[in-house]
Structure 1
């Protein structure tokens, strides 16, 4: 049986220009939105344009620019929220306070229907995404990996030419570097990744050129 193809659309949202993504199975047209930080109507327009059916909301971590629109999105479509790791519960619960701190419109806290741990899997149609727990930017940060497509969605763990901040609550530099080297690099140099902000890159390119984590 052949593996159905994955399609991905990137939807920049919020003043932080965060890479929300719409990911779907080309066979079933069932989709997931990953990290809907806000601008829910813009995300909804992308779902309509793609002609897909939203199946779930997925979160890499609990920061406002990634999770601020999750509750509204889940309620609008009647779908569950999966992720992040339970260690980010304190951030998920504090989304309303994060909104005030950054001077943004109030965003409600959300309660994930399923917390995700290292080694778990989530399904989107006939696609299967593997979960990697990658703490350091936040304690409960996770990455999603679709092995057949050689694609990872890594949130704010790793960027093209940089790494995630570690000066926010629960952040730790040494833990983040360890997560990148032990959880991401073994997936393969050929893996393309979508970061939480900025352009895509490959793990191989970052291993060669990224000043924070180059070999």
Structure 2
């Protein structure tokens, strides 16, 4: 676990800024998924429409915990981003806030099991995979995915995992590391510790 887990004003401000920025990004991903859903629906594959964008939904948690490295930062960022997305007009409504809780747990759980000491690529990729599986299970119970044919559900999971690994396991660490090297994240744990290569 990181040496200093005491929350400061700058931590709250960072999460708030990320929540707004990612909330806008999540809304964009939702509308993009809706368009792809409409394109794929005539072929009976509409359910796959949102899957390529799922990794974007996990990014608030992945990014905040990667740069701040404190317990709870991923969960809080994910929930706040979902609230912002809802307030901005997500057509799924407040249910996305509950989705944010599940997504926050999925990203943060593998890191918590490492006692917040390891933020390397393998751990971030593991978080992306765990989050993908956990959210699909959640979708089966809450979103009616259990009615989808098993082969299509399997394809959905594979696409979701690929999306999550790209956006959270690869892109997020690259973004975090580059911002750190640019001095934008000075004062946060990512700059105080040796960032993974």
- TM-score when normalising by structure 1: 0.32
- TM-score when normalising by structure 2: 0.34
User: Which of the pair is proportionally richer in helix?
Assistant: 2
Structure with more relative contact order (C-alpha pairs < 8 Å, separation 6 or more):
2
User: Which of the pair is proportionally richer in strand?
Assistant: 1
